Amino acid sequence: VFYRTVYTDSSTVPRFACAVTQFAPTDDPRCCLPCWDEPELKATSMSLASGQRPHSDFPNMPEQSRSDISAAVLSRSHRSCPTYLAAFAVGRFDYVEDFDSDNFTPRLAGREQGRFALDVARKTLPFYNGLFQRRLSLPKLDLVAVPDWPFGAMERTGVCHLPTFETALVEHPTTPVRLLKNGGFGNLVTMQWWTHLWLNEGFASWIQYLCVDQCYPEFDIWTRFVKSDLSRALVLDALDSSHPIEVPIGSPCEIDEIFDAIKLLQGRLGDPHAARMAGPGAFRDGLSRYLDRHKYSNAQTEQLWKALEEASGQPVDFVMGTWTKQMGYPLISVSAKPADNDDGQQLELSISQERFQFGSNSSLAAWRVPIQVLTAEGVKINLLLTEKSAAVRVPKAAWVKLNPGFVGVYRTLYSEEMLTDLIAALQRGQLSQRDRFNLESDLFALFSAGRLSIVQLLQVVDACKVEQFYTVWADLLDNLAATIQVLVDQLGLSQQWRSFVCQLCEPAFQRCGGWDAQPGDGHDVALLRAALIRALGLAGHPSVCAIPADLRDSIYRTVLSNGGGPEFEAALDLMDKTDLQEEKDRIQRSLGSSRDPQLRQRVLQLVVSGDKVRLQDSIYVLGSVSSASLESRRATWRFIKCNWAWFQEKLRGQILLSRLVQQVCKNFCSSEDAEDIETFFQANPLPSAERNIKQALENARLNARVLAREGRNLENFWAKFDA
């Protein structure tokens, strides 16, 4: 309900405390004040906060009165809103403020380093005014930067809380942008019931990218959306343990269970389809209609579709109903042949759909899928697939690709001939960055689902040696680690794996200029260099391991992975001495990279000792150990089982316990490990993490099937890399 943290002002010696509300529905608001805390039951908020000068108070609405005797602050009343949106923060906060182009004054409570977040507010609020065709109706909007805030960015009506370090992240403006959207506009309409939770969460998350694209085009935010959101959602939603965007909710405990990554990410997937169908102008008009009809009230998904449909004249509800009410997404299979009764200038594409799943596919689900086809000559053809299969003609070309720009929410399975043509186009540099990303991402997923051989997959991996952009490399390295490395570890081929990574990444590392930044390097090159240094460092590449041990990010992992006791002690000493919490986070999330079993055990003990690792950071430290290797993963799981009573006592009632399961149990690769996890949680039920447990078991058994199918091929391939 309340989060208390302490911090040190750089100009003073004493440590100060601040208190911040964190109301998670439905129990938290009820613990603080008498209320029902349901979306349809609104309250006229009257926040009461207490803090003696020089403390500052940041409630939902502006201060109405202050008692000099009790130091209590009563804020102005506001039009109706649910009680879980009530919030305040009390502490010794300095603040900065600025005017936007509409003469509104957003404030940032935090250090001067956070001025970037204020600049984001000043720049994006006018965009939202135009998008929603209304001025911000609130009398104030505050961003409060909370030291050591463990919950991520939280937006409430008129006041938003976020971790201190996120206010200064120039490379990631999406956090303050989302807060401003929800804190200022998104909470104007509340979902009618928790079933429609995605309307507030997923929709807000997608709109933030639309805003950043308009206000900060240099960030190429849609490419980041593909990497950080779309591809991740497609992986989760291909599991049997997934769920639809809309899930009937019958009790409060079910809210926590569906308030997961799939809910947030699926929500981000529903909106691109609707926005593209309506068109930019009609989409803006439809949003305005939706807000006008339901402001300070409640709405269902169908009411948003209706408003967009009225504004655009397009069958939005007809198409979108298949995406929000059923689980999963389609696999589009496509093959090409010369068109009949033609002079050889056209191809006929045979297109069919089925549900994409990593496991066995027994689903009869079908979607209404907007599909775009791109040819080598740049010709684009659109169709709406409403049946199980269809045929379409396109001009004959050297290659044909579906889903250009990776805007469609589906995987594509090409015939062998079409895939060969696309790999050749990739090697010649004829595919755009997002199309290269799309091809690589789809093929890894198809391999995991048993629809592609390891030989075909590695052909694409080898072709990616010429890649020059960070986003494609980052996804490639993530997929190799999650899909191939876990299998290689199981086969005892870790040394060969490191040789493979060195051969794969070395050419790109040299193209970046090696370790030294070059004049004119852009932001993407800097990110790519860091990603390659991390990959090569963990693989033990000699030119990367020669770097000093006191550098950051990828370097911590490199040094700890290839060093021993002295390097480990140096990292602990550096963690103790630094004043920046984000620097402590970088170091402690790298400690698990050590390959020494004794040092690994020390890291695990740090979690429960309470000496160096804060409770909210414990799951990330455990995750860093678990992700290092198969031995580390099993050691972490044994440690958790032995200390389960401690974890239950410390993390009970928090989402952290569910995240712990997700972090540690997700990458096992044998049926024996899956049975061990399943047996443990049968004896120690954890209802709040039930879906995460199912996902972990499904992933482990999926990996075991892939290993049984491709193990011999993997051993043959890695035999050519020296141990």
Tens digits of per-residue pLDDT, 239-257? 888 888 777 777 666 666 6
Give the range with max mean pLDDT: 300-314, 376-390, 481-495, 528-542. Answer: 376-390
pLDDT at 640 over 80: yes
Whether the predicted pLDDT of 35 surpasses 70: yes
Average pLDDT of the residues in 312-322: 85
Let me know how many helices (H) and strands (E) the chain has, helices first.
Answer: 29, 21
SS3 466: helix
> Does the annotation place 201 within a ligand binding site?
yes
What is the model's pTM? 0.76
Mean local confidence (pLDDT), 471-495: 88
Q: State how far the Cα of 104 lies from the Cα of 151, in Å rounded to an integer.
A: 28
Rounded distance between C-alpha atoms, residue 545 and residue 559, angstroms: 7
Task: Supply the pLDDT for residue 439.
Answer: 94
Strand-pair category, 380-385 with 159-163: unpaired
The answer, yes or no, to whether residue 459 has pLDDT greater than 50, is yes
Strands 15-21 and 88-91: antiparallel
List Cβ neighbours of 150 (8 Å cut-off, separation of 6 or more): 3, 163, 614, 616, 617
Say how many C-beta atoms besides its own lie within 10 A of residue 134's C-beta.
16
Contact (CB, 8 A) for 417 and 399: no
Residue 43 — pLDDT band, cuts 50, 70, 90? confident
491-495 own/partner pairs: CB under 8 Å, 24+ apart: 491/707, 491/711, 491/714, 491/715, 491/718, 493/714, 493/715, 493/718, 493/723, 494/629, 495/722, 495/723
Please report, for residues 352, 416, 501, 621, 702, the alpha-carbon distance to residue 706 in angstroms, rounded to integers and kept in the order given: 25, 21, 21, 29, 6
**What spatial distance separates the first Cα and last Cα of the chain, rounded to whole Å?**
53
Q: What is the mean pLDDT of residues 270-290?
A: 75
Q: Name the one residue in this structure whose structure tokens are 């609707």.
A: 274
Mean pLDDT of 142-160: 72
Cα separation, 145 vs 114, whole angstroms: 8
CA–CA dist 585, 581 (Å, integer): 6
State yes or no: pLDDT of 312 exceeds 60.
yes
What does the pLDDT average to over 177-205?
65
Higher model confidence: residue 506 or residue 104? 506
Per-residue confidence (pLDDT) for residue 168, from 0 to 100: 43
Q: Which of 107 and 20 is assigned the larger pLDDT?
A: 20
How far apart CA 664 and CA 459 sit, in angstroms, is 31
Q: How many Cβ atoms from other residues are within 10 Å of residue 316's Cβ?
A: 25
Mean pLDDT value across residues 209-234: 79
Least confident of 105-114, 236-245, 266-275, 589-598: 266-275
> pLDDT band at 280, cuts 50/70/90?
confident
* DSSP secondary structure letter of residue 219: G
Residue with the larger pLDDT of the pair 256 and 28: 28
More confident residue, 548 or 295: 295
Q: Which residue type, as a one-letter code, is found at position 380?
A: K
Complete domains list, the chain, with CATH? 330-436 (2.60.40.1910)
pLDDT band at 178 (very low <50, low <70, confident <90, very high): low
Looking at every residue in the chain, the average pLDDT score rounds to: 79
142 φ/ψ angles, rounded to the nearest 5 degrees: -115, 140
Across 291-357, where does the E strand assignment appear?
Answer: 297-299, 330-338, 346-355
Q: What is the mean pLDDT of residues 43-58?
A: 62
What was the pLDDT predicted at 518?
75
Over the stretch 556-601, which tens digit does the pLDDT of each residue have? 888 888 888 888 888 888 788 776 677 788 888 888 888 888 998 9
**Pairwise pLDDT comparison (35 vs 115), residue with the higher score:** 35
- Residue 76 to residue 60: CA distance in whole angstroms: 9
Answer whether residue 164 shows pLDDT above 80: no
- Residue 453: predicted pLDDT: 87
Residue 242 amino acid letter: S
In the predicted model, is pLDDT for residue 513 greater than 70?
yes
Cα–Cα distance, 668 to 490 (Å, whole number): 9
Tokens of 132: 């929603």
| Alpha-carbon gap, residue 332 to 530, rounded angstroms | 35
3-class SS at 513? Answer: coil
**Biggest alpha carbon distance in the chain?**
92
In the predicted model, what is the mean pLDDT of residues 688-707?
86
* pLDDT classification of 545: cutoffs 50, 70, 90: low
CA distance 569 to 599: 10
Question: Quick check: 309 pLDDT over 60?
Answer: yes
Of the candidates 61, 30, 58, the residue with the CA atom closest to the CA atom of residue 45: 61
Please give the pLDDT value at position 98: 66
> For 90-94, 269-273, 625-629, 668-672, which range has the lowest pLDDT when averaged over its residues?
269-273
Q: What is the mean pLDDT of residues 507-519?
A: 83
Q: Which two tokens stand for residue 354?
A: 């089925």
> Which of 48-62, 388-402, 624-638, 642-656 is modeled with the greatest confidence?
388-402
Reply yes or no on whether the pLDDT at 492 is more than 70: yes
Residue 68's pLDDT band (cuts 50, 70, 90): low
pLDDT at 630 over 80: yes
Average pLDDT, stretch 408-425?
93
* pLDDT class of 54 with cuts at 50, 70, 90: low
Angle between helices 261-278 and 280-294 (to 10 degrees): 120
Label residue 110 left, alpha or beta by phi (over 0 means left) and psi (-120 to 50 means alpha). left
pLDDT for the residue numbered 550: 45
- CA dihedral (490, 493, 498, 502) positive or negative: negative
pLDDT surpassing 50 at residue 167: no
Mean pLDDT over residues 201-208, rounded?
70
pLDDT reading at 179 higher than 80: no
Query: Looking at the DSSP assignment, which residues form a beta bridge with residue 380?
Result: 374
Percent of the residues in the chain that have a pLDDT greater than 70, as a whole number: 79
Is the pLDDT confidence value at 336 over 80? yes
CB 350 within 8 Å of CB 383: no
* Structure letter (DSSP) for residue 158: T
Most confident of 116-120, 220-224, 343-347, 478-482: 478-482
Is the alpha carbon torsion for 617, 621, 626, 629 positive or negative? positive
Backbone angles phi, psi at 161, to 5 degrees: -110, 140
Query: From CA 328, how far away is CA 704, in angstroms rounded?
Result: 22
> Which residue has better confidence, 173 or 248?
248
User: Which of 546-550, 660-664, 694-698 is predicted most confidently?
Assistant: 694-698
| SS3 of residue 246 by DSSP | coil
Element containing residue 21 per DSSP (H, E): strand 15-21
The DSSP line for 541-588 is -HHHHTS-TT--THHHHHHHHH--HHHHHHHHHHHHH---HHHHHHHH
